[in-house]
Amino acid sequence: MARPSVWLARVRRVDVWLPKVVVAPSFAASLFFVYGFIAWTVYISFTGSRMMPNYDLAGLAQYERLWNTPRWFVALENLFIFGVLFMVICLVIGIVLAILLDQRIRAEGVLRTIYLYPMALSFIVTGTAWKWILNPTLGLEKLMHDIGFTSFEFAWLVDRDMAIYTVVIAGVWQSSGYVMALFLAGLRSIDDEIIKAAAIEGAGPWRTYVGIVLPMLRPVFLSAFIVLAHLAIKSFDLVVALTAGGPGIATDLPATFMYSYAFQRSELGLAAASAVMMLITIMAIIVPYLYSELRSERK
């Protein structure tokens, strides 16, 4: 009887170390390629690096230069406008679409696919397509002129005060379907009994959704918010394809700012400083979220 128990103990030991072995390579890889490079970027941001990485510390000089650069403020202001509008509009459109689709309508599968489809395109494709649609001499405005509405004007793409809103339009078009899918899944997971009970109590559909269903979808809100927030902060390809940061520098975002300083201007240190600022912004959103998640799990 001794042999099987030894064998069992060995299996049990495998049970202990095997998962660790399996996970170790990816853990090591992400430790090096993600956290290692984050640490490297933070270090570079404290050096005077220009064209090539230079490892002599220069204190906060790069941060001082960064916060003295008007273009950085343009990027931050744009991030604020784009981030807030993108998140709010995506959430509103996503929720409305989800609620409408939730009415057990016919051809729901087809509609759901249509709404979700933009998500299948990359931001580069979205940006390029909208660049053509919004170009006043090529797209929408020309179309309206051609069919007779000659007074129609829509030149936001080339207007430096409005260009950032065209980025919002393209971003919302891309991502609101995804938010809809999230919420639709959330709505479907709510017990029918609750809705029936609400109906019996005499609550109309409006009251049912606003008062009962949506509060129950709090976790969905949170995930949608996190996904949208990080999409907004790291937004790069959409702007590059749609406006290339222009007209002028009117649609610069922190990510395009960072790219331009690191790779076009040989200002590695300054670019690293701006990357660190972006990291801090994302952490300011993610850390409280993780904290609340972990705490609720412990409960």
Partner 1 sequence: MQRLNVGTALGVGFGLVALSGAGPAQSAGTVEVLHWWTSGGEARAVGELKASFEEQGGTWIDSPIAGGGGDAAMTALRARVVAGNPPTAVQLKGPGIHEWAAEGVLADVDDVAMRDGWNDVLPPALAEIMQYEGRYVAAPVNIHRVDWIWANPDLLEEVGAEMPTSWEEFNATAESLMEAGITPLAHGGQPWQDATIFEVVVLGLGGADFYRQALVDLDMDALQSDTMIAVFDQMRIMRGFVDPGFSGRDWNLATSMVMNGEAAFQIMGDWAKGEFLAAGQVPGEDFLCAPAPGQAFILNTDSFAFFEVSGDDRIEGQQVLAGLIMSPEFQRSFNLAKGSIPARVDVSLEEFDMCAQQSQADLTAAIEADTLVPSMAHEMAVPRSVRGEFLDVVTEHFNSDMSSEEAVEQLVSAIERSL
Assess 6 for contact with partner 1 (CB under 8 A): no
Closest distance between partner 1 and the C-beta of residue 34, in Å?
Answer: 19
- With 0-12 CB in 10 A as exposed, 13-18 as middle and 19+ as buried, what is 49? buried
Which of 25, 70, 109, 202 binds partner 1 (CB under 8 A)? It is 70
Site string for partner 1, 142-161 (x = CB under 8 A): -------------x-xx-x-
Which of 162, 249, 279, 282 binds partner 1 (CB under 8 A)? It is 249
Assess 48 for contact with partner 1 (CB under 8 A): no
- State which of positions 168-187 bind partner 1 (CB under 8 A): none
Of the listed pieces 8-16, 113-121, 133-141, 178-186, which binds partner 1 according to CB under 8 A? 133-141
Contact 75, 83 (CB under 8 A): no
The token duo for 55 is: 């490892």
Report the 10 Å Cβ neighbour count for 84: 12
In 3-state terms the chain splits into helix, strand, coil percentages (rounded to 5) of 75, 0, 25
Assess 59 for contact with partner 1 (CB under 8 A): no
**61 or 116: CB nearest partner 1:** 61
Instruction: Tell me the residue type at 210.
Output: V
Closest distance between partner 1 and the C-beta of residue 215, in Å?
Answer: 45
Measured CA to CA, the distance from residue 139 to residue 129 in angstroms comes to 10
Assess 264 for contact with partner 1 (CB under 8 A): yes
Concatenated DSSP letters for 216-256?
HTHHHHHHHHHHHHHHHHH--HHHHHHTTT-STTTT--HHH
Closest distance between partner 1 and the C-beta of residue 158, in Å?
Answer: 4
User: With b meaning 16 or more CB within 10 Å and e meaning fewer, what string describes 16-32?
Assistant: eeeeeeeeeeeeeeeee
Contact 160, 77 (CB under 8 A): no
**155 or 203: CB nearest partner 1:** 155
Which of 42, 102, 135, 162 binds partner 1 (CB under 8 A)? It is 135
**13 or 265: CB nearest partner 1:** 265
Which of 181, 235, 261, 278 binds partner 1 (CB under 8 A)? It is 261
The backbone region for 297, taken as left when phi is positive above 0, alpha when psi lies in -120 to 50, beta otherwise, is alpha
Of the listed pieces 40-48, 63-71, 118-126, 225-233, which binds partner 1 according to CB under 8 A? 63-71
Please report, in angstroms and rounded to a whole number, the separation of the first and last CA atoms in the chain.
43
- State which of positions 73-132 bind partner 1 (CB under 8 A): 131
The token duo for 171 is: 């971003």
**Chain positions contacting partner 1, by CB under 8 A:** 50-53, 65, 68-71, 131, 135-138, 155, 157-158, 160, 243-244, 246-250, 260-261, 263-267
